[in-house]
Amino acid sequence: MSAPARQPITSAGIVYLRKSDTAQALAETISERLDDRGITTWTVPSRADEEVRHLLPGTELMIVLGGDGTILSVARQCAELQVPILGVNFGRVGFLSELEPEEVEEKLSLYLDGSYWIDERSMLYAEVGSGTERSQFTALNDIVLVRGAEPRVIRLKVWIDGHYYNTTVADGVIISTATGSTAYNLAAGGPILHPQVRSNVLTPIAPHLVADRSLILEP
């Protein structure tokens, strides 16, 4: 089955794994290839969040050469402007990548010509408050609340949609999307969700009570 027709890409950004010479070399090759096609292109190394945030407006495709961690970081930048991400695997696992480095030469033109699907994933928003201070976070994988350096369990009171659920005595809790269900959530004994499932998972980390298990929540 062929991909639905979309408009060809006219502008793209490239983020490459900072510590990988191979990723940087491929980023330069891709940039030259896009320039030859008349595609407006910019390239930055990973962890240059402020630079990405400045260059992102007007970008139609983000090409990320890195591991899952690099893609997760870039996803936070791209979410607000709804910029799709094409991941090229330079990590150990590559759960979130679409291409391997050796596939780029053959398959990149398909994406540039508009022959692709956009796989939409749900994300999480978190607000952390202490006194009058507030911090906001977004995440594609998960939000984790943990005990920190203290070698003792903590008590977490959980409300869902304004209703009290329980008090968990554990090392912490993980709130995971379907995308993140194969990460920390799985290692802590939580279930795997299909990527298109919009539900979230609440999983305690090393809970004191055996009955305190994962809970799948409505979107």
β-strand pairing of 200-205 with 172-176: antiparallel
Q: For residue 172, is it left (φ>0), alpha (ψ between -120 and 50) or beta? A: left
Q: In degrees, to the nearest 5, what angle opens at C-alpha 38 toward C-alphas 109 and 60? A: 65
Residue 197 structure tokens: 């499932």
State pTM to two decimals.
0.86
Known catalytic residues?
68
Residue 84: DSSP 8-state: -
**Residue 184's CB: how many other CB atoms inside 10 A?**
17
pLDDT tens per residue across span 87-124 = 999 988 888 999 999 999 999 999 999 998 898 999 99
pLDDT at 151: 86
pLDDT tens per residue across span 133-166 = 999 999 999 999 999 888 899 999 999 999 999 9
Q: 78: which strand partners?
A: none
| Percentage with pLDDT > 70 across the chain | 98
Residue 212 structure tokens: 């305190």
**Residue closest to 88 by CA, chosen among 106, 71, 76:** 71
pLDDT at 211: 84
| CA separation for the pair 118, 52 (Å, rounded) | 21
| CA separation for the pair 132, 75 (Å, rounded) | 29
pLDDT at 5: 60
| Percentage with pLDDT > 90 across the chain | 84
